[in-house]
Amino acid sequence: MRHLLLGAIAGALFSVAAQQYVDPTKPDEQLTKAEAELRIREWEGKVAKLQAESQAVEAEVRQLEKQLADLVQAIRRCNDDIYALLGVTEAEVERFRQRLGFIEGRVRQYRGLSDDVLAERRSEIAALEADLNALRKEKLALLPEFYNRIVELAREIRGLYREPKVKTYTVGTWERDRDCLWNISAKPHIYGNPFQWVKIWQANTDQIRNPDLIYPGQVLHVPPPGEKTLEELRAERAYYRKKLEQQRRAAEQLQQAAPSTQEAQPKRGGE
């Protein structure tokens, strides 16, 4: 009798368990009414759980947003105290921020250039470093927002300097190569621009006394291409002034040496 009772209880439990379980792979259209209701209750439970988790996350987000707003206010009050201590305004800070941002943008552009191009733009990099050093001397550079950025930026600018590669050219003959400073400067692998000839002259004044005279076999140093320096421009102007003066004197000497072509005019009345 006892065994029969235990068997009946076990059967009932198994039946309840079977009723509480629905094969998840079974299509909806094949479910019985009881199975469909059970599946609906399962999804309702999942939805309720997700809704509860979503509400908990939203509450946490609201709490974090409040903490963030409090931190922003605290930072703003701290900045106001620092600005007052330095005697600066928010507008001045913003202008400083923009100037520093401009230098940072230029440095990013230079980072993508090759070593040869960086060597050619050495003067531009030096000017950029001078601009940064000017910012470093201002009291706003002490602000926490800027201090570390300026230190890092100075390190990056120093890393942009490249030494120019020394290029040389061996002078050929006029008959074969038509070599003069003007023609050498015009060669594509030199400058591709004859008007740059003065750069070669000024880089080789130890062996070129007269830029109109160079000799086969001379090994000339060729500076990197770029804008003429102030010294090069001065030398070029002095050269052309000297050439004009020589041409003027030559014209005067030629005029003085030429025989007079004016014929004597006959006197009137047989005089």
Domains of the chain: total:
2
Interatomic CA distance for residues 23 and 38, integer angstroms: 11
206 shares a domain with 137: no
Among 103, 127, 158, the domain-final residue is 158
* In-domain check, residue 265: no
Among 138, 158, 178, the domain-final residue is 158
Tens of pLDDT, residue by residue over 138-167, are: 999 988 889 999 999 999 999 999 887 778
178 shares a domain with 102: no
* In-domain check, residue 122: yes
* In-domain check, residue 182: yes
What's the CATH number where 191 sits? 3.10.350
Q: Is the pTM of this model over 0.85?
A: no
Tens of pLDDT, residue by residue over 106-115, are: 999 999 998 8
* In-domain check, residue 35: no
Tell me which residue range forms the domain holding 244.
167-255
Tens of pLDDT, residue by residue over 56-106, are: 999 999 999 999 998 888 887 877 777 777 788 889 999 999 999 999 999
